[in-house]
Amino acid sequence: MEYDPNSSTPLIVPVSCPVENLPEGAHKLSGKLKIKVNPGSLAFRLYQEGEIEEEHTCNNELNREFQEAFEKGGLQIVGIGEQGEARIVELPDHRFFLATLFLPQLTSKEGSPHPLMSAYLEAVLDFKKAAQII
């Protein structure tokens, strides 16, 4: 809907739980929001917690009408917002596929990287070593 508001099958839609009283021009979903993380998921292993809070700055999200279809196709929704909306997705059969609605790189600091950023970089290095690219 961001590119074609008249789409008959919008996979990506405006956020379902926008934050009220935002300044003009701010993202509709801004601020720290709670996310429940499924045990057994890569995200759970990386966070080592079942509930996290992450900083969101977005206007769009996965259309909830398609969440079940995505899961049947292999994309697992492993992190959900307080109203059941997808916040973290994974492809469990992939070497390292984890996508978020929030931007973990925004809270990474020198000497204190976000756990998802660290894990991603470790996965890249492991892949390069296995492929003897380094």
The string of pLDDT tens digits covering residues 37-77 is 999 999 999 999 999 999 877 777 888 899 999 999 999 99
Q: Domains of the chain, with CATH numbers? A: 12-105 (3.40.50.880)
CB 64 within 8 A of CB 85: yes
Higher per-residue confidence, 19 vs 117: 117
Q: What is the pLDDT of residues 20-38, one digit of tens each?
A: 555 565 555 566 789 999 9
The Cα–Cα gap between 111 and 106 comes to 14
pTM score of the predicted model: 0.82
